[in-house]
Structure 1
Amino acid sequence: MQGMSQGSSDGTLFTRSYTFFLAGRFCAVLASTSQAVVIAWEVYETARQTMSVVEASFVVGMIGLVQFLPLFGLALVAGETADRHDRRVILRLCYLGQLVTSAALAIRSEFSGGLWPIFALAALFGCARAFFQPAASALGPMLVSSHLLPRAIATNSLVAQVANISGPALGGVLCAVSPVLGYVVSVGLYAAAVVCMSLIRANTRPDTQPGRSRAAQIKEGLAYVWGNKLVLGAISLDMFAVLLGGATGLLPVFARDILHVGPEGFGVLRGAPAIGALLTAGVLSIRPIRRHIGLKMFAAVAMFGLMTLAFGYSRSFPLSVACLAVLGAADMVSVFTRQSLVQIVTPDRMRGRVSAVSTLFIGASNELGEFESGVAARFLGPVGAVVFGGAGALAVTGLWVWLFPSLRRADRLVSDPVHQ
């Protein structure tokens, strides 16, 4: 396959192009995660001026919905685009779009433009993100050799988790000084990501099948995901577990009105899951999971649900941080397994479309999960919403063990060179 031919022939993971790819991803994730903290805090602070805690929690949850709707509408088209056009160019355009969005958020914040402009700009950000993820997931494997792909996936996750740790903490400090400063820093980081994409010199244009319509290409990708029960089971388990168990959408509420730790503590809470994920990704980059991957994935998702429950009941800031860190570690195991299954077993010419379906599932679990948390908080209160979500994640895990026996019995990743 063309995508596998772009990697280094000497077995070196960090080729020049892959290094620039990782650097660009780091800058972009750092920008998006720090900006997410600034947006959430600014929205909650603004809403609390005229609303109760419960009503303001619902407004914060709406941010996830407005980012999910563009993802839902554009994901399949974005996947087909990533399989037809130069993936490096697509990523560069996505970073430029996010840069413009950050600049507009800074202007709105400087002139106190109210809440509605934030939601409009969050929707535009969701449009750029819809095209970003399929292109990024399909581009990475083109830059490394096939036998290095499991390590590349873990290293890519490691880089992202470093940014995920740094971003929320950075965002908490910046928004404590000024939300405008937080948005301006994001603009600079996105500009750096654009430069990194421009420095990639490898051939990043996928193999295409001329003459096939866009609808036929999308249908082929959907059929592949539906027919591969390992992939379908992995991405749907992740979606429903995080959709129900995601507590991040309500962290501003816990930081301000339950744990009373302010914006700095909010940044720590947002970064705690990434700390656990970082440590786990570091281990996986050296020792990838090789045996009993299905059972380990189910165990990790169950632990995710348990830690969500514990966080909901906690009134201790250190205990809450610890619960979120373990939650992040468990989620990293699930993410590694899912990404490995999707990227390894999928042909390069279909990676964009299959990744788009995966992105749609995972985007639903993240952005739509924040909306679900906001709605649940409206009726159950913030604590009740988190506890309900944790219990739901555990229930989904048990149901998926029964619905997808092939995933439960999955033993080795098919590209493991030791066992092929």
Structure 2
Amino acid sequence: MINLFEHFDKAAHTLYHALKLAGHHNKTIVLEDDGFLPEQILTPYRYFSQYQVQDDHKPLYFNQIQVPRYWEIIGNNTEATVNDMGKVRAYIRYDRNSKPRIVSHVEWLDDAGRLQYVDHYTQHGVRFAQTVYDLTGNKIFRKYLDQQGHEVIYENFIAQSIIVNWQGRSHHFNHKVAFIHFFLREAGIDMNQFVINSLGLPFSVLYRLNEPGHDLLFWQENSGGHVPGNMSLMLQGEHTRDYHVIVPDQREYDILSQQLDIHAQQRLLPSGYLYDYARTNQYTANVLTMTNSDQIHHLADIVQACPKATFHIGAVTEMSDVLMAMDQYPNVRLYPAIERYTVDKLYHKCDIYLDINEGGEIINAAQRAFNHDMLILGYRDNAHNISVTASENLFDKENRAAHLIEALKDIQRKKRYFKVRLNYQKSHAHEITDKAFNQVMTHVIRQ
């Protein structure tokens, strides 16, 4: 099997790791390279540029961006800009999953402050692509560069055409599907069976392949109550390639199944995901919150109502006087300008993550809490990551967060209450056993 993903987003990442945990170590192809993919993943860019990781390659830190003389770079842990006499000339964007202040791309502006072009960087500090925009902010073209700065792929978004400079020749393609077919054949990819998670470009690539095979779609989206057109086409049968659809969300599976005929239902299967947690929850009363804001509603009420719990509050910046005042409580530990080592230590120590801070999420905090098997509790109207936070574990702020406080007290009183809420979270993330996962995979692989 070959994993064929358009993007390596959160959904693809979850499926990728579930398949590996189940013993399916498939070659993985990602069609859109963002420069920060795992090194074992193949992309058209990496193949045609013959990208090689050098021993001396390092990520690009924000103040290492090349700028004209007398221009200055101003930045902190969340954002940075390039300035010329007080005028912003570029916005430096960080990769949110890397160490602090590692550059993923730089948005350069024209004299009128409009987006002109974007330089894209890899996790090794290599400028691998540049995207050019028109005056209305629409993409015109993107060129991909090898490590010597030579253009290897040119994608025209207006004409929807692609040119590849490969082995001394220029290859022209009128649409992206034709380009992907060329890439698959040049790379010697086995076309027998693909795993996809999108009815967009990956399905178009397979549908127009005109080679026999048997493919699997993991449906990770919301149908909105109706079977998508491409899914109906996929399940009709009578194609050059055979298809099965696997649906990890039980509710989504029920909605789709009810709208299909018996023949199509046989090609639709429920499943879930496998997760490899960094540690196992120990059911302690160590509570963690990561924030760069002092707007944490009812924090003092929660701390005072739960004296047996220890609240660890970390920030990657300095803390305001409002937050520093929480140090008066004996069960509060504050970590201003927290270091990466301390963050790691706290995620291994704490068993509850309190997602109650206003403002943006820092260091991918809620997802990281989920990855460490922590119980995530929070406020309903400012939860930062709904995909890993069960609705049963979200509460209103009214009455000084009385319901959240009650939940915190309950899970401290009885371990089984803690387990119930943690199971809500695992069920919300569609977690199943490896046996159940492989039963589905064995069924479709044998077809």
What range describes the TM-score normalised by the shorter chain of this pair?
under 0.3
Q: Which has the higher helix share?
A: 1
Q: TM-score under structure 1 normalisation?
A: 0.26
Answer 1 or 2: higher relative contact order, Cα 8 Å, separation at least 6: 1
Q: Which has the higher strand share?
A: 2
Which one has the largest radius of gyration? 2
